[in-house]
Amino acid sequence: MILWLNPVTGVSGDMLLGALLGLGAPIDEVRAAIDSTGLAGWRLRAEQVQVDGIAATRAVVEVDDTSTERHASELLARVRQARPEPVAELAASAVRAIAEVEGALHGQHPDDVHLHEIGGLDTVVDTVGVAAALHALGITAVHSAPLALGSGTVRCAHGVLPAPAPATLQLLRGAAVVGTDLPGETVTPTGAALLQAAGTRFAPPPAMIVQDTAYGAGNRRFSQRPNVLSATTGTPLNASAEPMVVLECNVDDVTGELLGHVIDRALLAGAADAWTTPATAKKSRPAHVLHVLCHPQREPELTELVLAETGSLGIRRQPVDRLALPRRTTTVIVEGHEIRLKHGPWRTKPEHDDVVAAATALGLPLRTVAARALAAQPSEP
């Protein structure tokens, strides 16, 4: 899935997070990833707001410890604990980029850098939250129009500095920018670092089939234009088959509980899919074949995971091509309960976990709630 951004008033961590939540990133999955860091005393919610007539999503982050100063190494150690692993990698890359830039500016090793304005725990929530939302949406490439840079000055711990601040400019190396008359800071260090960590390409929208568009709301208001970040998802147009790898091993001495555990762990570690098939092994013993489908770059860690968890003495690998049809997710309300709908080219299906939760709360059969969810989707124009 492609993500294309149009930052006409710049970008910040919370604007990017709001846009991704507006695109349908499940907030419960985002919160779970943040919670996996062990961070305490934080809250995240999504508010639907109107910004100069545009419906947008504001990501509201609250932390009990409001100190904005701490060592970068403390934040880095925290985000590295996030799960699944791809989320930790992207979040850590963003925080590490900030530490390296600040270290270069002040002649310090990145591990010794003391962050001021961006040393708050909300940086953990923003970086891990954005990484988790990108992961949940299945974003594989990020493209962006030029970043709108503000003018004037910004006030920070080192005094009054020209906008953009020196750290932000360093983080924008390689990015496309455009000057504006918007006052002050429009691109924050966290926003710039997240775009860098996501490997953002600054170019016109790629050839793609547009899926959904959402807007992340900023906290400031400008008289010239709405302060929102436009975010659009799409699938590559006429894309070729995607190279994947299937890992397989035969197991005849593990329990069903363990197989279920391995499948769950593989999916959390970035596998595209994982499943088992029954088989008859040597000496006519009943067995299972464990299959894990993954991108080639995930093969080493998933191979190690399968071998460690199952105790198997070997594993097979087979390169395959995957053709993935475009899909999108919307949300409907059934008697006060949110249910996600997964839309493909040929059918729409309610998210099973959401249907189970609603059916349990309402005391209704699953099929009844699923039918009401399908009936609640708006008619195509």
pLDDT (tens digit per residue) in 214-257? 999 999 998 878 999 999 999 877 555 688 999 999 999 999 99
Domain boundary among 209, 236, 263: 236
Cβ atoms of 182 and 116 within 8 Å: the answer is no
Report the mean per-residue pLDDT for the chain: 89
* Domain shared by 89 and 223, yes or no: yes
> What is the pTM (predicted TM-score) of this model?
0.62
Identify any residues that bridge with 242 across adjacent strands, giving them in sequence order: 322
Q: Which of 208, 236, 264 is the last residue of a domain?
A: 236
Of the residues 236, 252, 268, which one is the last residue of a structural domain? Answer: 236
Indicate if 132 and 187 belong to the same structural domain.
yes
Residues 320 and 311: beta-carbon distance below 8 Å: no
Residues 164 and 251 in one domain: no
Give the pLDDT score at 381: 42
Distance CA 137, CA 154 (A): 34
**Is 318 domain-assigned?**
yes
Residue 209 falls inside a structural domain: yes
* Structural domain contains residue 121: yes
pLDDT digits (tens, 9 = 90+) for 66-109: 777 787 888 999 999 999 999 999 999 999 999 888 877 767 77
How far apart CA 213 and CA 200 sit, in angstroms, is 18
The DSSP secondary-structure symbol of 31 reads H
CB-based burial of residue 38 (10 Å sphere; 0-12 exposed, 13-18 middle, 19+ buried)?
exposed
Domain that holds residue 167: 2-236
351 & 299 share domain = no
Q: Is residue 51 part of a domain?
A: yes
User: How does residue 328 score in pLDDT terms, banded at 50, 70 and 90?
Assistant: confident
Look at residue 180 and tell me if it is in a domain. Answer: yes
Same domain for 176 and 194, yes or no, is: yes
Q: How confident is the model at residue 158 (pLDDT cuts 50, 70, 90)?
A: low
Which residue in the block uniquely carries the two structure tokens 């071998």? 307
| Statement to judge: residues 77 and 192 lie in one domain | yes
C-alpha closest to that of 63 among 131, 119, 102: 119
> Backbone phi, then psi, for 43, in 5-degree steps?
-145, 145
| Residue 366 placed within a domain | yes
Same domain, residue pair 130 and 232: yes
Pair (93, 208) in one structural domain:
yes
> Quick check: is 182 in a domain?
yes
Look up the CATH number of the domain holding residue 283: 3.30.70.1380
Q: Would you say residue 6 has pLDDT above 50? A: yes
Section 200-227 average pLDDT: 90
Both 231 and 342 in one domain: the answer is: no
Indicate the number of domains in the chain: 3
| 296/208 same-domain check | no
Q: How many residues are there in the chain?
A: 381
Residues 209 and 92 in one domain: yes
Average confidence (pLDDT) over 183-190 = 91
214 three-class SS: strand
CA distances from 26 to 13, 124, 354 (A): 17, 18, 11
Q: Is 381 part of a structural domain of the chain?
A: no
| Shared domain check, 192 and 119 | yes
